[in-house]
Amino acid sequence: MTVGAPRFYDEFAEWWPLFSPPVHYVEEAKDLLARLGPLPNPATLLELGSGGGSLAYHLKDRFHMTLTDRSAGMLNVSLAINPECEHLVGDMRSLRLDRKFDVVLVHDAIMYATTPDEVRAALQTAAIHCRADGCVAVLPDHVRETFAPVTDDGGEDAPDGRGFRYLEWCWDPDPSDDTYVVHYAFLMRDAAGEVTMLHDRHVEGLFSLDSWLQWFREAGIPAVASLDPWNRHVFIARPAEVSPR
């Protein structure tokens, strides 16, 4: 894992709402909620690597949420749209809150765990913070078996005249290792019409389905994997001593 977060998450975090706003997550949030099963009402949820809070925006009405990320800039973005939620700076590999939650969620931030030890550490953090009758949900963008190169683009405009466009290019330069790369070209137009261009390179982890399931078992939270409507694997895990609801 890169020691520092990619530049976009720190220097340019303020642009996140025009890159990946909450409106993009409506269906994904609905799909996730359906997978969690019966929960207390109200329930508590800890998100590891919550980023700009766009997914959390659609979950906060159902949960008392604690949102954590190692980027203070991204948490500031989230705080603007999720002021009801608790926000804490912390790394998913080492965070220890001395609290337990009904649900522990790790969305696509898990992709920045690029070695088996880092994935194990993140899953251990999730397990430590999960109640005995709770669950852990982990949603990686890719596993080895379903990975395919992809190119994507998008972006939004803001009422103040700012605009944002991006090109995303994702591929695996070395299929023998445990990572792939994502290159982004960002065009950012300020309110005065000046455009800045940024290239950002992200290295992300890529592991087999069997490895994922083994690491969940090692953490004491055996998982069931299923495909979501976007052909991505969703892992729902529960503490080993508790039968699934």
> Are residue 139 and residue 150 in the same domain, yes or no?
no
**Cβ atoms of 149 and 175 closer than 8 Å:** no
Could you tell me if residue 221 is inside a domain?
A: yes
Distance, in Å, from the CA atom of 245 to the CA atom of 233, rounded to the nearest integer, reads 21
Phi and psi angles of residue 172, each rounded to the nearest 5 degrees, phi first: -115, 100
H helices present in 24-136, as ranges: 26-35, 72-81, 116-128
Which of 221, 212, 150, 151 shows the shortest CA–CA distance to 178? 212
* pLDDT values of the chain reduced to their tens digit, one per residue, 245 residues: 333 457 899 899 999 999 999 999 999 999 999 999 999 988 999 999 999 999 999 999 999 999 999 999 999 999 999 999 999 999 999 999 999 999 999 999 999 999 999 999 999 999 999 999 999 999 999 999 999 999 999 999 999 999 999 999 999 999 999 999 999 999 999 999 999 999 999 999 999 999 999 999 999 999 999 999 999 999 999 998 754 44
> Are residue 79 and residue 161 in the same domain, yes or no?
no
> Are residue 136 and residue 216 in the same domain, yes or no?
yes
> Are residue 80 and residue 192 in the same domain, yes or no?
no
CATH for 98: 3.40.50.150
Show the domain range for 183.
144-205
> Are residue 83 and residue 196 in the same domain, yes or no?
no
Could you tell me if residue 245 is inside a domain?
A: no
> Are residue 11 and residue 24 in the same domain, yes or no?
yes
Query: b or e along 169-189 (b: 16 or more beta carbons within 10 Å of the residue's beta carbon)?
Result: ebebeeeeebbbebebebebb
> Are residue 200 and residue 163 in the same domain, yes or no?
yes
> Are residue 69 and residue 20 in the same domain, yes or no?
yes
> Are residue 194 and residue 228 in the same domain, yes or no?
no
Could you tell me if residue 244 is inside a domain?
A: no
Distance, in Å, from the CA atom of 168 to the CA atom of 153, rounded to the nearest integer, reads 6
**Element holding 216 (H helix, E strand):** helix 209-218
Could you tell me if residue 76 is inside a domain?
A: yes
* Model pLDDT, residue 228: 97
Number of domains in the chain: 2
* Model pLDDT, residue 2: 35
Distance, in Å, from the CA atom of 78 to the CA atom of 24, rounded to the nearest integer, reads 15
* Model pLDDT, residue 5: 53
* Model pLDDT, residue 6: 78
Q: Residue for token digits 């430590």? A: 128
Name the pTM for this structure: 0.94
* Model pLDDT, residue 3: 35
CATH for 178: 2.20.130
